[in-house]
Amino acid sequence: MSTITVGISDLQVAKGDDVLVTYALGSCVGICLYDQVAKIGGLSHIMLPSSTMNANSAQTPMRFADTAIIMLIKKMEAMGASKIRMKAKIAGGAQMFATVTNSSIANIGQRNVQAVKAVLQQQGIQIVADDTGKNYGRTLHFSPSDCVMRISSANRGKWEW
């Protein structure tokens, strides 16, 4: 068993009892995709909703919800996963600073979550667990062996999805 760390604007895949982890999701969103039959899982940590608003997006496809999710699906398929069997668990997209009046800063988490949900729906992947929004950071662990998404927070404890 090994632990694979997924950085910001990064994505990784894992098989069997390997564990994928991404630390301190704030307004970013972590997307776990998995094929329970093939025991293949993937984790993507996106920062922004859409690659279409950014001139340099071609160099950083793992940063955007639209391009990163497609990339993750392809990477998992290349390992032998089947897209029809894929399901998703998502977490993050918090509003860290509750009293911010600047709406473009206040909504960054929410915009990310909406974009992730739209891309997953368009790809026909069902979201079976959704731990998004609220106002705190989350660290996410996911292993394709049991397909459980484990969340730990700084001052609200730990829980599972």
Partner 1 sequence: MALKDYNDLNDIQLDVLREIGNIGSGNAATSLSSMLAQPVQIQVPKISILDYEDVTSALGGPETMIVGLMLSLEDDVSGMLMFLLEKEFAHMTLSTLLCQDIDSFDEIDEMGISAMQEIGNIMAASYVNAISSLTGMTINISVPSVCVDMAGAILSVPAIHYANISDKIIFIENKFSNEAENAVSHVLMIPDVDSLEKIMTNLGIEI
Binding site for partner 1 (CB under 8 A): 7-8, 23-28, 47-48, 53-54, 63, 94, 96-102, 104-105, 108, 112, 135-139, 154-155
Shortest reach from residue 155's CB to partner 1, in Å: 6
148-153: strand order across its sheet: 3-5, 19-25, 138-143, 148-153, 158-160
Taking the least distance from each CB to partner 1, the nearer of 7 and 80 is 7
d(CA 44, CA 7): 9
**147 classed as catalytic:** no
Residues whose CB is less than 8 angstroms from the CB of residue 53 and which lie 6 or more positions away in sequence, other chains included? none
Shortest reach from residue 140's CB to partner 1, in Å: 11
Using CA of residue 47, residue 53, residue 56, residue 62, what is the dihedral sign?
positive
d(CA 145, CA 38): 10
Taking the least distance from each CB to partner 1, the nearer of 9 and 145 is 9
Shortest reach from residue 88's CB to partner 1, in Å: 21
Taking the least distance from each CB to partner 1, the nearer of 39 and 138 is 138
Active-site pick, 28, 31, 65, 125: 28
Give the residue numbers marked as catalytic.
Answer: 28
